[in-house]
Amino acid sequence: MNEEAIAERRAYELSLHQRHCAGHSDASYDLVSYFKPLLERALTGTGLTPDVELIEGCALQALTEYLVAPTRFDPARSSLWTWLVRAAKGDLLNHLGSERRKKAVAERYENEVALASSDRNSVWMDLLAAMGEVEWPLPKDLSVSDLIRRLELSLRPSDRRVMWMMLEPRTPTSEYAEVLGLGLLPAKEQAKQVKDAKDRVRRVWARVGEELKHG
């Protein structure tokens, strides 16, 4: 693409931004129609994943974040296209990182069924540490991996991802916030809502424990 074509494209993108900021009712439709296929093509071109639905979801997430808070984009620092590609790729990398973490943790707990008793108890203690103060004895006839599956099935979808992150030590609040869709909130509010999500998981943990104790 020559310099003239690039300048024309940036001018058009800037006009879309200005129309959206001015409150034009059709601006959001035009923005999504224009950028969504371009973002999907760019994400596919990274070779990070062949998952078409994930790529579409990350493209839409980046566009949604922009549409909700367009002033986060500064035309003096970059083009809207550059800003959106960076946001969409960041969302994709975050998701893939979360999935890799979930797989690693899942494999760890899947493997515990073959561990010696002392190692099994060590895995159990790690799980208790992740869930905080709510403790109860692990039934002898229940594997840790089966317990985690039962816990996961008792949680809402977003809280399932929170649970998997809780099982991986030292996960920062910012990563929880991204999973919960809180990226646009102030850090203090993010921390509050992340704590609420962890508390929901721990309440389900306590309820599952009571169910197991009383058969």
Q: Which residue matches tokens 């099994």?
A: 120
- Output the pLDDT for position 89: 87
76 backbone φψ class: left, alpha, beta (φ>0; ψ -120 to 50): alpha
Other beta carbons within 10 Å of 210: 10
Per residue in 114-132, pLDDT (tens digit) is: 444 444 456 566 666 777 6
Locate all alpha helices (DSSP H) within the chain, ordered by sequence.
3-21, 27-45, 52-68, 80-111, 117-131, 144-153, 157-166, 173-179, 187-213
Highest mean pLDDT among 57-61, 97-101, 109-113, 175-179: 57-61
Q: Higher confidence at residue 85 or residue 93? A: 85
Please, are residues 154 and 207 in contact by the beta-carbon 8 Å criterion?
Answer: yes
Name, in order, each residue with C-beta under 8 angstroms of 174's C-beta and a sequence gap of 6 or more. 190
- Output the pLDDT for position 5: 81
Report how far residue 69's alpha carbon sits from residue 178's, in angstroms, rounded to the nearest whole number: 16
Reference 194, options 207, 169, 175; nearest CA is: 175
Report how far residue 169's alpha carbon sits from residue 24's, in angstroms, rounded to the nearest whole number: 46
Average pLDDT of the chain? 79
**Alpha carbon distances (Å) from 145 to 52, 152, 197, 210:** 30, 10, 22, 18
Name, in order, each residue with C-beta under 8 angstroms of 123's C-beta and a sequence gap of 6 or more. 108, 109, 112, 115, 144
Percent of the chain with pLDDT over 70: 76
Highest mean pLDDT among 71-85, 96-110, 131-145: 71-85
- Output the pLDDT for position 84: 92
- Output the pLDDT for position 148: 74
Q: Higher confidence at residue 103 or residue 111? A: 103
Specify burial of residue 211 (Cβ count, 10 A radius: 0-12, 13-18, 19+).
Answer: exposed
Hey, what are 101's tokens? Answer: 């973490």
Per residue in 30-52, pLDDT (tens digit) is: 999 999 999 999 999 989 888 88
